[in-house]
Amino acid sequence: MGALAAAIAIGLAALGAGLGNGMIVSRTVEGIARQPEAKNDLQTTMFIGVALVEAIPIIAAVIAFIVMFQ
């Protein structure tokens, strides 16, 4: 039962991170299209946001392993 819960947790975290990254990148591309002179600032903010969103599946994997091996 713990393995199933871990698999669901990791899958949902990956799905959420994928959706979040897609939204972040699409909005950044929109912003660059509207204001090309702000490209560097927008890209910097985008990379910080993507890094924060990517932390979610890593945390979910750690929690899943803790649940599995208890």
Residue 54: CB atoms within 10 Å: 12
The enclosing domain of 62 has a CATH number of 1.20.20.10
pLDDT by residue for the chain (70 residues), tens digit each? 888 888 898 999 999 999 999 999 999 999 999 999 999 999 999 999 999 999 999 999 999 999 888 8
Q: Residue 25: which domain range?
A: 1-69
10-30 pLDDT, tens per residue? Answer: 999 999 999 999 999 999 999
Q: Measured between alpha carbons, how far is 65 from 5 in angstroms, rounded to an integer?
A: 10
The domain tally of the chain equals 1
Give the count of beta carbons closer than 10 Å to the beta carbon of residue 40.
Answer: 9
Query: What pLDDT score does 42 carry?
Result: 96
